[in-house]
Amino acid sequence: LVYWRSPEYNLVRLLFTTVAAIILGTVFWDIGSKRTSTQDLVTVMGALYSACLFLGVSNASSVQPIVSIERTVFYREKAAGMYAPI
């Protein structure tokens, strides 16, 4: 819920996703319709893997500043006894 309150984080995430979609879309344009050999299928699977990996790494790196701020809040609340085992 905290991430939705941060417009900068959402803007960076949207920008990364858009840029990755444009780059990977132009690089692998019309590859999906050419599935005549095993190599074409492996190329499509590699494109999907690289797209997921790139977006995952870029989104994880863009959330690091928010996580570092939230960590200090967590330590403060834990020291105040706000979290207890069940």
Residue ranges of domains in the chain: 3-79
Cα torsion for 33, 34, 38, 41, to the nearest 10°? -40
User: What pLDDT, on the 0 to 100 scale, is given for residue 32?
Assistant: 67
Mean pLDDT, consecutive 10-residue stretches, the chain (86 aa), reads 69 84 83 78 84 82 78 89 82
| Predicted TM-score of the model (pTM) | 0.56
